[in-house]
């Protein structure tokens, strides 16, 4: 192959600009054909130095730009539904950042629209599925050597939360990664969620319920627990232990440079998800470009985006009510049957 | 010092015989003065080869044997209350294996009897408090360097459960270690317990609810979660992570001999608590002998034994009802005020 | 940028075909413009499915093919000198697999030819310089936080050696990686080498001196020791510890998936350098393409290839004579002065 | 057993006083019967608070004190030969701190004296043989699962050296531990030693050759390398990797409390051999007391002390001459044949 896939990138903020850079310089087989952002200057800045890019202020215009064969949506979550429907209308393959659509009703509309079209077009940006550690764990679980998974113990810690981060966003923005990872690793839907509230850390902003401890139940009886702590102060840590019938497997404890100095052996902990998952972002986009050029969708799809939003909404209700809350999904269209 | 403390050992089963050996050959400053077991042959066998030991079939007779200055109770749990009261009546210091008394009503009677006597005499065999790793963790938490503890994540796995082990015993016999460890590490009483039931492992005996996932809340808002899995098949693992406001600390992952062979780097996992905690048992008894010779009680006491039995009973109720169950303690006698 | 760099790949064996795949599917900004191999079928097979590739049986023809702007040499080592000189004659930038030239006399001729041209064109395939762990170590050493490096302890193990691997090749083919890594990490030339011969392993082919233990001295007094063991049978391991004046740092012990099962906690050890260094190969070629498109050479150059061949030759002499052997370099042309 | 073994402790300095405390309070089955030190006050201070201890200023007087059945020699190395011969003359079992006798000629006289007596009486204080990690490694090697050992890679680091520590003492006082450990682990005598001198650390006192890199060859072709670095500044580290024909095993990397805080996962490194090997000292003396009470010697003996002093002397010569130096032992008396 040598023809490059022309991609329109919607959104030129932090994440969008990073995807523009990635498509231009890291990923093989693609080129940036258009960039759209309501802020024209921001769009121009992201596109600077790249040959043959159309710059627009609306998604529609970018989708219709010459040479656009696929779409990468990195605009704010509220704009995703409209952008996805516009891409579907044009038959364009899409890679859409998470959350697919923030509310589950909108997410369901996207699922239904894609299902009506009869062809899978959307991949959702659950990039952990492309992290080498998660993939090794998935492969181990699928191989069956350790028997059936019984529990997942997850830890998800950030140094600090961004301004305006709310207690609900610990579930909808942070734990949503574990929601997708659990569904994918276990191959099961979630059926209930309980959010527990230990006394907040003195390091959390006033009023923020941080940390939280979240429990998921699954359709075949597995239990998933997640510590989410977004103002832990000391590093970015994502760990997962799968406890199975005849063994346990853990990821997220990699150490690569062990320094012994001043009375301690130290392993530096990354401070940021862009460090920890840099490779996963690259692999995700490369895999999407490769599959798209072959006319396929191989990553997590609209159904996964919908299921994550339903579970996240149930989590927010549990956080508010303090009680176990069922996760109830609409019937799954046949388009999303596992192959 | 050279005078040896004369100890009566009650119970000459597996644990009792091991304590006889320990007092005779490992611990400094003590000697076995009497051994009692309803099975006289078993008592004789445990005492074989030791000079000057009286062998009896009743606890009372052993307590009254010449040279007995202290008592180590390793008889079955049902016999503990009577033995403790008999020791208190004679003013003898006691080291009593856990559970102090299986039911909380009996445990409370022991607390009240000791309180009436006005002098602390009993130490309870929560030997994890003497494990070097737990002690380093306790010392770190008490030092305050990591801020206030918010959560404890605990894992407790056995290769297989003994015959006749019941679902309730996962809480009363196994998790009771974490109950005491959590109270001790955090310096807080437990206030509620919830026992969750993932689908049982195919490796568990039919009818046994194994694994279980147990949640404790504490009086100052910490959350403690415990995976208890007594038929995990692959090793004896006891891990604990304390998540604090500005750091996290983990024990139970020690590796000491790392073997790389046949495509893997391997660390052998101990198969048995007697291997993992051999040192803790030795240190516990040495510390008890040392303190007793100086007329003091420095280890966990009758109040700790009582609090553990109340929490364990609440856990069993939660296992049966599936709901969160409060842990309600009687008022603590002044004798047990922290010094 | 969107113009793709046209690359001629010389050699379509195992390594060459892998580079063709990498340039076509992994690396951004390049395309395969020509493939050459004396075996025309092999060249065609490597080029299959790629648009616009010229296939040739000689290096010269491939270098002259339309659209060729740079050269990747992956032919056997004996063919490198001629290919490098041909590339230099055409002013083409080159990435040349190691060894640059097997004998140091030929390597010096390459250095002199490039120096005469007055412009750096060649990068040598010491891909460890692109491994994330090595880069973190290099960055730590350069930062000076641990003081001056005093010693490097290196381990280099292969599961088994290929057929026809000779005792000298443990030095020239395997330890050559440590030769370059040591020069790069320390920023110093090597001055002497001593090869020690423990009794060979029963797992080594008859007559092969395996393992060997190699010592390098450097111009500013550091000591480098390398265990090379190419029939260790159990895995591919590359470790390096830098011992500095105020601390030590180690790489090569990464663990990413820790499996506890059947009585042991296990970390799988990769069996192959293509697994361990897959990422380094990708990053090396991407970095070369990126620099070449900007008209620069940023990686290890012809001088590094020459220095490695001199040290390797001295190592082979030490292996034969059993004595410490000086490493004597020709004067370094100004072209290779550190910038 | 309940009769306590009466022990005379010779030397009441740092090490002697620690052994007095150990015999009195830690070890089971022994009591301190006499303490001797030329400094009478120091001897009295060490014996304070212990019942029935004779205090003397000469070794002879202490050996002849009532109740003395065994001797622990912790006086300066120059006094060991006379004390050992005095103990042999009285038929008293001895535990003698290392070095047994500083010069190999004196060490040989001790061996010959014990051999003339026809009965093994002396154990030498190579306490690493009682460290649980070393014992697991020894047991693994003896089991043969990994095949024949080919190499040992050893690291031995101290935070700083005591005043008046000389370059030769890096070999005689520090590496002597590795000398004994290598002989014991491999079950082979050493045949040659080479001491290499990297440029000294800026952290070493002026004139001290620190670090050094020491190579031992053994009678069946194994190679042992030792990094000795006694002013590393950052911690006390003792590591050993045994590379065998079908696997490798490492000790000395234990981690027990892993703290993640302030951007790093940290394991504290002990600062002192008394922390790292506290347990080994206790186990060594307990094992010696246990064996002595049964009339046996089970630990390293006078031959091991002699062999260590010959290898250390050869090491010092190699350090001075810069050349490989043979290690030549006198014929081994039959008394020391392995049983």
Q: Do both A219 and A109 map to the same domain? A: no
Q: Find chains touching chain D: ≥3 CB pairs under 8 Å.
A: A, B, C
CA distance to A42, B56, C194, per residue, from B65 (Å): 90, 9, 74
Over residues C291-299, the mean pLDDT reads 95
Q: Which residues of D touch C150 (CB under 8 A)?
A: 198-199, 201, 211, 229
Over residues D21-41, the mean pLDDT reads 96
Residue of D nearest to C222 (CA): D198
Q: Which residues of B touch C260 (CB under 8 A)?
A: 234-235, 237, 269
DSSP H helices in B102-166:
104-117, 132-143
Of C82-86, C141-145, D174-178, the poorest mean pLDDT is in C141-145
Whether residue C255 has pLDDT greater than 70: no
Q: What is the reported pLDDT for B1?
A: 44
Cross-chain Cβ contact C247/A258 below 8 Å: no
Cross-chain Cβ contact C263/B271 below 8 Å: yes
Percent of chain D at pLDDT above 70? 95
Residue A223 in any domain: the answer is yes
DSSP string, D204-263: SPTT---SEEEEEEETTS-EEEEEEETT-SS--EEEEEEEETTEEEEES-----EEEETT
Contacts for B163 with CB less than 8 Å, ≥ 6 apart = none
Over residues B269-289, the mean pLDDT reads 86
Whether residue C89 has pLDDT greater than 50: yes
Q: Do both B290 and B312 map to the same domain? A: no
Over residues A3-27, the mean pLDDT reads 95
Look up residue B334 and give its two tokens.
């002044």
Residue of B nearest to C271 (CA): B263
Cross-chain Cβ contact D265/A261 below 8 Å: no
Pairing of strands A264-268, D264-268: antiparallel
Q: Do both A185 and A326 map to the same domain? A: yes
Q: What is the reported pLDDT for A321?
A: 97
The C-alpha atoms of residue B288 and residue B9 are separated, in whole angstroms, by 14
User: Mind telling me how many Å the CA of B172 is from chain C's nearest CA?
Assistant: 26
Q: Find chains touching chain B: ≥3 CB pairs under 8 Å.
A: A, C, D
Q: Find chains touching chain A: ≥3 CB pairs under 8 Å.
A: B, C, D
Q: What is the reported pLDDT for B200?
A: 97
Q: Give the SS3 label for residue D282.
A: helix
Whether residue D126 has pLDDT greater than 90: yes
Residue A234 in any domain: the answer is yes
Could you tell me the pLDDT band of residue B267, with boundaries at 50, 70 and 90?
A: low
Q: What is the reported pLDDT for C125?
A: 97
Whether residue A328 has pLDDT greater than 90: yes
List residues of chain D with CB under 8 Å from any CB of chain A: 233-235, 237, 255, 260-269, 271
Q: What is the reported pLDDT for A1?
A: 45
Could you tell me the pLDDT band of residue D272, with boundaries at 50, 70 and 90?
A: confident
Residue A239 in any domain: the answer is yes
Residue of D nearest to A271 (CA): D263
The C-alpha atoms of residue B241 and residue D301 are separated, in whole angstroms, by 44
Q: Which residues of C touch B258 (CB under 8 A)?
A: none
List residues of chain D with CB under 8 Å from any CB of chain B: 1-4, 24-29, 31, 49-52, 132-133, 136-137, 140, 145-146, 246-251, 253-262, 279, 286, 290
Q: Do both D246 and D312 map to the same domain? A: yes
Higher per-residue pLDDT: A185 or A250 = A185
Instruction: Answer positive or negative: Cα dihedral of D249, D254, D259, D262.
Output: negative
Residue to substitute from D170, D198, D209, interface C, most C β-carbons within 10 A: D198
Q: Do both B12 and B107 map to the same domain? A: yes
Contacts for A139 with CB less than 8 Å, ≥ 6 apart = none
Q: Which residues of A touch D160 (CB under 8 A)?
A: none
Residue C199 in any domain: the answer is yes
Q: Find chains touching chain C: ≥3 CB pairs under 8 Å.
A: A, B, D
Could you tell me the pLDDT band of residue A269, with boundaries at 50, 70 and 90?
A: low
The C-alpha atoms of residue C94 and residue C85 are separated, in whole angstroms, by 10
Whether residue C262 has pLDDT greater than 70: no
Residue to substitute from C263, C270, C276, interface B, most B β-carbons within 10 A: C263
Could you tell me the pLDDT band of residue C236, with boundaries at 50, 70 and 90?
A: confident
Residue A339 in any domain: the answer is no
Q: Which residues of A touch B247 (CB under 8 A)?
A: 233-234
- pLDDT tens track for B115-163: 999 999 999 999 999 998 999 999 999 999 899 999 999 999 999 999 9
Q: Do both D110 and D214 map to the same domain? A: no
Higher per-residue pLDDT: C274 or C191 = C191
Q: Which residues of D touch B27 (CB under 8 A)?
A: 28
- pLDDT tens track for B58-116: 999 999 999 999 999 999 999 999 999 999 999 999 999 999 999 999 999 999 999 99
Closest CA to B60 of B92, B107, B95: B92
Could you tell me the pLDDT band of residue D278, with boundaries at 50, 70 and 90?
A: confident
Residue of A nearest to C259 (CA): A249
Q: Do both A295 and A313 map to the same domain? A: no
Tell me the whole-structure pTM to 2 decimals: 0.92
Q: What is the reported pLDDT for C338?
A: 82
Q: What is the reported pLDDT for A255?
A: 67
The H or E element containing residue D77 is: none
Cross-chain Cβ contact C222/D199 below 8 Å: yes
Residue of B nearest to A204 (CA): B245
- Considering chain A, what is the average pLDDT of its residues? 94
Cross-chain Cβ contact D263/A235 below 8 Å: yes
Over residues B24-32, the mean pLDDT reads 95
Cross-chain Cβ contact A234/D269 below 8 Å: no
The C-alpha atoms of residue C83 and residue C100 are separated, in whole angstroms, by 10
Q: In what order do the strands lie in the sheet with B122-124?
A: B54-56, B30-36, B5-10, B70-73, B94-96, B122-124
Q: Do both B71 and B114 map to the same domain? A: yes
CA distance to C227, C321, D227, D232, per residue, from D156 (Å): 18, 31, 6, 10
User: Which of C233, C263, C267 is nearest residue B264 as measured by Cβ atoms?
Assistant: C267
Residue D222 sits at φ, ψ, to 5 deg, of -80, 155
Over residues D112-123, the mean pLDDT reads 97
The domain spanning residue C23 has which CATH number?
Answer: 3.40.50.720
Cross-chain Cβ contact C264/B265 below 8 Å: no
Instruction: Answer positive or negative: Cα dihedral of B218, B220, B225, B228.
Output: negative
The domain spanning residue D321 has which CATH number?
Answer: 3.30.360.10
Please answer whether residues B310 and B327 qualify as being in contact, where contact means their C-beta atoms are separated by less than 8 angstroms: yes
Closest CA to A260 of C132, D155, D175, D154: D155
User: Which of A150, A199, A223 is nearest residue B201 as measured by Cβ atoms?
Assistant: A150
Whether residue C1 has pLDDT greater than 50: no
Question: Which domain covers residue B29, as residue numbers?
Answer: 5-128+280-301
Q: What is the reported pLDDT for A72?
A: 98
Of A274-283, C329-338, D125-134, the poorest mean pLDDT is in A274-283
Domain count, chain D: 2
Contacts for B187 with CB less than 8 Å, ≥ 6 apart = none
- Considering chain B, what is the average pLDDT of its residues? 94
User: Which of C150, C225, C233 is nearest residue D201 as measured by Cβ atoms?
Assistant: C150
Q: In what order do the strands lie in the sheet with A5-10?
A: A54-56, A30-36, A5-10, A70-73, A94-96, A122-124
Whether residue C60 has pLDDT greater than 70: yes
- pLDDT tens track for D3-16: 899 999 999 999 99
Q: Do both A191 and A324 map to the same domain? A: yes
- pLDDT tens track for A177-218: 999 999 999 999 999 999 999 999 999 999 999 999 999 999
Q: What is the reported pLDDT for B106?
A: 98
Q: Do both B176 and B82 map to the same domain? A: no
Q: Do both D27 and D115 map to the same domain? A: yes
Residue C320 in any domain: the answer is no
Q: Do both D319 and D192 map to the same domain? A: yes
User: Which of A260, A263, A265 is nearest residue D271 as measured by Cβ atoms?
Assistant: A263
Number of DSSP helices (H) and strands (E) in chain A, helices first? 11, 15
Over residues C227-254, the mean pLDDT reads 91
Cis amide bond preceding A217, omega within 30: no
Look up residue A152 and give its two tokens.
């997942």
Q: Which residues of B touch C267 (CB under 8 A)?
A: 264-266
How many CA within 13 A on the CB side of residue C45? 13
Q: Which residues of B touch D260 (CB under 8 A)?
A: 247-250
Q: What is the reported pLDDT for A29?
A: 94
């Amino acid at each position: 192959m040598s023809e490059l896939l022309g991609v329109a990138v919607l959104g030129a903020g932090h994440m969008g600009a990073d995807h523009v850079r990635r498509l231009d310089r890291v990923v093989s087989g693609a080129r940036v054909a258009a960039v759209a952002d309501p802020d024209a200057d921001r769009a121009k800045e992201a596109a600077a130095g790249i040959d043959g890019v159309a710059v627009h202020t609306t998604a529609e215009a970018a989708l219709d730009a010459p040479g656009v064969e696929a779409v990468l949506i990195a605009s704010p979550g509220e704009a995703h539904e409209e952008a996805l429907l516009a891409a579907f209308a044009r038959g364009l393959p899409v890679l859409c950042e998470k959350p697919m659509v923030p509310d589950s009703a909108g997410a369901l509309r996207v699922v239904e629209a894609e299902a009506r079209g009869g062809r899978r077009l959307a991949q959702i940006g659950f990039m952990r599925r492309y992290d080498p550690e998660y993939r090794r764990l998935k492969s181990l679980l699928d191989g069956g050597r350790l028997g059936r998974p019984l529990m997942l113990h997850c830890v998800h810690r950030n140094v600090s939360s961004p301004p305006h981060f709310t207690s609900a966003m610990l579930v909808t923005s942070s734990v949503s990664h574990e929601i997708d990872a659990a569904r994918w690793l276990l191959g099961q839907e979630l059926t209930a969620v309980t959010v527990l509230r230990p006394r907040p850390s003195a390091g959390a902003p006033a009023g923020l319920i941080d940390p939280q401890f979240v429990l998921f139940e699954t359709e075949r009886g597995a239990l998933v627990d997640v510590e989410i702590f977004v103002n832990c102060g000391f590093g970015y840590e994502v760990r997962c232990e799968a406890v199975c019938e005849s063994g346990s497997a853990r990821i997220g404890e990699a150490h690569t440079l062990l320094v012994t100095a001043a009375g301690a052996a130290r392993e530096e902990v990354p401070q940021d998800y862009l460090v920890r998952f840099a490779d996963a972002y690259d692999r995700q986009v490369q895999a999407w470009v490769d599959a798209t050029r072959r006319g396929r969708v191989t990553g997590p799809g609209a159904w996964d985006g919908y299921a994550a939003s339903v579970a996240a909404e149930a989590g927010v209700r549990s956080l508010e009510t303090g009680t176990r809350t069922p996760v109830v999904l609409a019937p799954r269209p046949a388009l999303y049957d596992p192959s």
